[in-house]
Amino acid sequence: MKQITLEKEVTISGIGLHSGKTATIKIKPAPINTGIVFNRVDLANEPEFKAIAKSVLDTKLSTNIGTSEQNRASTIEHLMATFHSFGIDNAIIETDNVETPIMDGSALLFVEALKDIKLIEQNAPKYAIKILKEIEFRDDKGASVTIKPQDKNLTIDFTIELEHFEPKIMKQNITLSKETFIEKIAPARTFGFKEQLDYLRTIGLIQGGSLDNAIVLDGNKIINESGLRIENELVCHKILDSIGDLYLLGHPVIGHFTAHKSGHFHTVELTKKILADKSNYEIIEL
Ligand SMILES: [Zn+2]
């Protein structure tokens, strides 16, 4: 297989979930071995941040890369998940603000924008990162992520537990392909609990959040009038986030990822742990 980029650029605009600021992003073709690079053209010197584990600045409710509070590209995970699933190896995301637009809280509008653009093969072999050992990261509150070796593909098993919502335990399993992503994962919107959201707003986060870009839960009720969009939407959104965060390994991932009550922090820590020891993985030609 060959590396893949876009035939031509595509432009998307929208507001950021946390900043509330409007950003216009241009997803542009990039040369072989570029990877996924975010380019803040609104800042002096137009800094570029490669979307890999060591660029992660923090994982406060979203995945943010850069070097400082000012020099950063925020909430990259849904776009990263779309690139991972579409097999896009090389792209430059030129952006004029801090945060990738949240759109409708899912990856559906990124999928739609990219569906119209031809993906082209480049003259270089395509690589994947194959997991060779079982690696785990867990916190002291019962959240954990594990990745194990398997022969091909990325398989994800995700379990969430919700205190007030029925069913309290929600599980979903997928093997990643472009088709599975488009049908089952991309439409799944981000979600939060009403009481948490009120608090987050008071500390200056989710300034752009609304029922147009998130599912809001209040106890066992869904506040959004239209309810859920797909079966298991909540856990499918967690899978969407993991597909994006795992792409911080720098290549499509071959392994079996299992997550329990985890978030961006856990997946990002796992990617760092994997990359810290070269015997944990091998880079193979696909
Ligand atoms: Zn998300």
3-class DSSP assignment, residue 239: helix
CA atoms lying within 13 Å on the CB side of residue 213:
20
Distance 76 CA to ligand 1 centre (A): 9
Pair of tokens at residue 135: 């690696």
Alpha helix locations (H) across the chain?
77-86, 108-115, 178-180, 194-202, 233-246, 264-276
The closest of 154, 147, 181 to 259, measured between CA atoms, is 147
pLDDT at 102: 96
pLDDT at 204: 85
pLDDT at 120: 98
3-class DSSP assignment, residue 275: helix
| Residues shown for the chain | 286
Q: What are the chain's domains?
A: 2-126 (3.30.230.20), 128-285 (3.30.1700.10)
Distance 190 CA to ligand 1 centre (A): 5
Q: Catalytic site residue 264?
A: yes
- Which one of 84, 237, 264, 266 is the catalytic residue? 264
Residue 255 phi/psi, 5-degree rounding, is 170, 175
pLDDT at 57: 97
Q: Are 174 and 184 in contact (CB under 8 A)?
A: yes
The closest of 161, 168, 156 to 143, measured between CA atoms, is 161
Cis peptide bond upstream of 167, omega within 30: yes
The closest of 213, 222, 159 to 193, measured between CA atoms, is 222
pLDDT along the chain (286 residues), means of 10: 98 94 97 98 97 96 95 98 98 97 97 95 98 98 97 98 89 98 98 88 87 92 93 96 98 98 98 98 98
pLDDT at 152: 97
Q: Are 36 and 95 in contact (CB under 8 A)?
A: no
Residue with tokens 């992520």: 145
Distance 28 CA to ligand 1 centre (A): 23
Distance 99 CA to ligand 1 centre (A): 13
3-class DSSP assignment, residue 147: strand
Distance 172 CA to ligand 1 centre (A): 16
pLDDT at 197: 86
Q: How far apart are CA 92 and CA 73, in angstroms?
A: 12
Amino acid, res. 280 = N
